[in-house]
Structure formats: structure tokens, C-alpha cells
């Protein structure tokens, strides 16, 4: 049964479900909320893992959160959660959450079992031209219908009801937060290459994603990880939101990942 927990002296509330000696922690992307993972979690086969979800500061139920809205601040929030959970963990990050979960895995190498990156924004950012990133920044202060139209165009196979729910939640975000975080994922984080995380990494992308293409993944994401355990897989018939557009396929990929290399990683971590 799901329950909520809090981080003392903060606005962080996180959702816990299931039981296990390890945890799989889900971190949503730009202008989304923790509930975007519910369809995937519902179909996930993860014996031995509890699931954890939380909102990024500025989004979901944390729209009143104060800044700064930086990768380091977001990583600090996530670190507080994994420390409170206090068990070996796998981190799942979508889009702009990919740099966040990587930073946390680097900071807790003894407990970080693996990473799952969905449509990952590169650590160095997307570096989109000004006229393109302005399309995203223009959603600051937009109403739900405008946000839904943008998401529908970028993820045409996503369920309309879920797009409407996400758009309603996203429209509550403060305009300055929307603009700041759009610039954040476009500009990136000045982390050194290669990544400090050396465990297994699963990268899932939408075959039709116009921004996080196979070339971007190979040159800017896979190249950061020197581990031979890095696997990149494209999900058919979806774009930038594989977990919303094809939740069953994403759940199956994550389940295989947990049952493969991570089964050994979890056992080793539990023995430490």
C-alpha cells in the first residue's frame, strides 16, 4: 500500500509503495509531476524493490518552492530522499532529470545500483538555437490548453486524458520557474567527462524523438559512461515521453534491467 513520507525542515514529500531491500526511485522531467510514472509502475515487475516518486521543486505539489532551480539543488533534494529511504537504489530519470539522477548516483556510489535514463537531456545540455528554446520558454504562464497542444504535437501517441492531466498540473507552475528550468536543461551542467558513475546504465529513447536522437544519445550520453554495462534501446511508436506513450514497453525494459545485471548488484550491495 502506498504511503507518503516527508523530509524534515523542507517541503519535500515523497511517495513510497511496495516492499523490498532495495528501492527504485523515479524522477520526472520538465513541467511534469510524480504521477507521470504511475502507468509504468503499475506494470513493473520488480520483486525486492519498493518504488519511490517525488516532485521536482517548482512542479507538481511543490509549485511554491523557492529557488534556486539548478541541477545541484534538484540533486540535493533527491539525495535527501535516497538518504531517508536508506537502502540500495536504482534511479530512473526522464529528460531533464537525467543529469539529476547521474549526479546523485555519483554522490552515493556505495548504494547506487544502476541508472535508467529515458529520453535523457545530456549533461552538457541540448544547446538548442534561441528561436527553438524560446518555444519552450513561451509556455511560462500559458494556460493548460496551450501546454496540452504542445505536448500532443511532440507526443502524438500519448493518451489524451493523461496529456490533459499533465497540462493542468503544468499550468500551475510559476512562469519564472518554467523559464529558468527550460534554460537549465538547454544550457546543461558543467560536470566533467566522463561520468563518475560506473554501474549499469539503461538508456531508453523514443524512435521519433526530434531532440534526443540516436546521434545525440551516442555522442553526448553513452559517451559519458565508460561502463561496458551501458545499453541504449529505442522504443517504437513514441517520441520524447516513452513512459507516457508506451508505458508497457518501458516497464518491460526496466523489469528486464532489474532482473539482469542489477540482481547481482543488489545482492552484493545488500551483503555490504
* Sign of the alpha-carbon dihedral angle for 80, 92, 177, 62: negative
- What integer pLDDT is reported at residue 267 of this predicted model? 56
pLDDT band at 179 (very low <50, low <70, confident <90, very high): very high
Bridge partners (DSSP) listed for residue 14:
5, 54
0.75 surpassed by pTM = yes
- What integer pLDDT is reported at residue 155 of this predicted model? 84
Q: What is the DSSP string of 122-162?
A: PTT-----HHHHHHHHTTTT--HHHHHHHHHHH-TTS-HHH
Average pLDDT of 162-172? Answer: 96
Alpha-carbon distances of 21 from 158, 239, 249, 262, 269, rounded to whole Å: 33, 34, 25, 13, 10
CA distance 255 to 44: 6
* Residue 270 pLDDT greater than 90, yes or no: no
In residues, how long is the chain? 272
Supply φ then ψ for residue 14, to 5 degrees. Answer: -125, 150
Per-residue pLDDT tens for 201-245? 999 999 999 999 999 999 999 999 976 689 999 999 999 999 999
* Residue 266 pLDDT greater than 60, yes or no: no
* Residue 172 pLDDT greater than 70, yes or no: yes
* Residue 260 pLDDT greater than 80, yes or no: yes
Domains by residue range for the chain, with CATH: 3-124+191-271 (3.40.50.1820)
- What integer pLDDT is reported at residue 263 of this predicted model? 61
- What integer pLDDT is reported at residue 154 of this predicted model? 82
- What is the distance, to the nearest Å, from the Cα of residue 46 to the centroid of all Cα atoms in its chain? 18
Cell output for 71: 541541477
CA angle 125, 71, 159 (to 5 degrees): 70
pLDDT band at 129 (very low <50, low <70, confident <90, very high): very high
- What integer pLDDT is reported at residue 1 of this predicted model? 73
* Residue 47 pLDDT greater than 70, yes or no: yes
- What is the distance, to the nearest Å, from the Cα of residue 213 to the centroid of all Cα atoms in its chain? 17
Exposed (0-12), middle (13-18) or buried (19+): which is 64, by Cβ within 10 Å?
Answer: exposed
- What integer pLDDT is reported at residue 262 of this predicted model? 66
CA distance 4 to 221: 33
- What integer pLDDT is reported at residue 271 of this predicted model? 54
Laid out side by side, the sheet with 13-17 consists of 3-6, 13-17, 49-54, 22-27, 89-94, 112-118, 201-206, 230-235
Amino acid at each position: 500500500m502506498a504511503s507518503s513520507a516527508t523530509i524534515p525542515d523542507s517541503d519535500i514529500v515523497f511517495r513510497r509503495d511496495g516492499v523490498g531491500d532495495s528501492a527504485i526511485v523515479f524522477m520526472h522531467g520538465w513541467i511534469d509531476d510524480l504521477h507521470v510514472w504511475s502507468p509504468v509502475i503499475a506494470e513493473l515487475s520488480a520483486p525486492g524493490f519498493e518504488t519511490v516518486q517525488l516532485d521536482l521543486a517548482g512542479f507538481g505539489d511543490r509549485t511554491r518552492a523557492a529557488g534556486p532551480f539548478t541541477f545541484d539543488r534538484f540533486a540535493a533534494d533527491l539525495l535527501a530522499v535516497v538518504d531517508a529511504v536508506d537502502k540500495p537504489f536504482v534511479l530512473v530519470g526522464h529528460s531533464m532529470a537525467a543529469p539529476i539522477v547521474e549526479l546523485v548516483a555519483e554522490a552515493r556510489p556505495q548504494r547506487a545500483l544502476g541508472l535508467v535514463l529515458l529520453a535523457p537531456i545530456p549533461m552538457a545540455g541540448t544547446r538548442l538555437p534561441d528561436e527553438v528554446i524560446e518555444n519552450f520558454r513561451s509556455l511560462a504562464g500559458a494556460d493548460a490548453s496551450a501546454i496540452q497542444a504542445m505536448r500532443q504535437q511532440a507526443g502524438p501517441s500519448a493518451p489524451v486524458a493523461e496529456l490533459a492531466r499533465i497540462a493542468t498540473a503544468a499550468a500551475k507552475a510559476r512562469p519564472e520557474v518554467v523559464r529558468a528550468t527550460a534554460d537549465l536543461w538547454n544550457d546543461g551542467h558543467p560536470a566533467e567527462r566522463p561520468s563518475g558513475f560506473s554501474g549499469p546504465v539503461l538508456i531508453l529513447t523514443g524512435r521519433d524523438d526530434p531532440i534526443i536522437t540516436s546521434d545525440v544519445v551516442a555522442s553526448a550520453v553513452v559517451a559519458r559512461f565508460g561502463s561496458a554495462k551501458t545499453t541504449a534501446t529505442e522504443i517504437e511508436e513514441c517520441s520524447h515521453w516513452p513512459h507516457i506513450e508506451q508505458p508497457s514497453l518501458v516497464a518491460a525494459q526496466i523489469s528486464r534491467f532489474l532482473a539482469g545485471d542489477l540482481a547481482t548488484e543488489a545482492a552484493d550491495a545488500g551483503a555490504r
